[in-house]
Amino acid sequence: MPFEKAKCYIDYTSPGTAHVYGIENFIVSFRTSYQQVEIADTALFGRLLILDGKVQSAESDEYIYHEALVHPAMLMHQTPRRVLVIGGGEGATLREVLKHPSVEELVMVDLDKEVVENCMQHLQAWHQGSFNDSRVTLHFMDAREYLENEKGLFDIIISDVPEPVEQGPALKLFTVQYFNLIKTRLTSEGLVALQAGDTSMPFVESHSAIHNTIRQTMPFVKPYRSFVPSYNTEWGFILAAPRSDELPGAFEFNRLVESRKLNLKYFDGETSQGMFATPKDLRKVLEEEKTVIDDEQVLPIY
């Protein structure tokens, strides 16, 4: 289709920049009580999930994002049995967690039931039936309310929610109070992994603030990143634990992947070396960052 006749979706990544996606067809477009939702088909990236104007994941490369988010933390725990996923409406985070044979219970807490129901219906390639697994329990509620009332502990907590945009639904899921709460819900060997925003210059403000905030609560904090083509950037993640720890090397990651018989398209030991290698300019920003995201003073990013 000629470009001038194509339907385009513009994802404004900042007040001065945007990504433009050629849209073949909109599957759904509606507003829930919490956010604007679109699911659309594109020629280049396949199907997209878009929340509040931001592309969350694309059919062609969601495996990069979800394998990067899930497997470092899962592999660093010897036998992850009880896992909590916060957000993750597409169901792909569930899919990756369930690949680990030791998992006995997987709890997912998402605020927006309408988003999850539409993902169940229209994003089967993402979840691959994971919502129907007998180990999965769904709760549609505020994640902080759930954590405040749930007294059980988790081996792994994975936070897969949008960035802390002012007035967004994930506003207080990146604050120092929230990470302190997360820490109290982890077992002694537990770990937390979270998506943590763009790591490319000059859009690193959110990532560096999240990184510095979680450093106030836990001694082991490792930032990492992966290039996601549909985002057209190096996307950031953070791995953390309430104890001192060491990151496995390439050989150990490969041994763990093989021992658990994981069928992965993106993550392995060699991939991990690039993911956790932070370039000098980004290290400097992270080392100098002073911002701490607080319940009373959230990060006003675009």
What span, in angstroms and rounded, lies between the C-alpha atoms of 97 and 101? 9
Catalytic residue selected from 110, 112, 155, 160? 160
Stated as kind and residue range, the H or E segment containing 117 is helix 113-122
Stated as kind and residue range, the H or E segment containing 82 is strand 82-87
Contact 62, 137 (CB under 8 A): no
How many helices and strands in the chain, by DSSP H and E?
10, 12
Name the one residue in this structure whose structure tokens are 């992965």: 264
Q: 3-state class of 114 per DSSP?
A: helix
Upper half-sphere CA count for residue 214 (Cβ side, 13 Å): 28
Q: How many angstroms from the chain centroid is the CA of residue 177?
A: 19
Instruction: Mark whether 160 is an active-site residue.
Output: yes
Active site residue ranges? 160
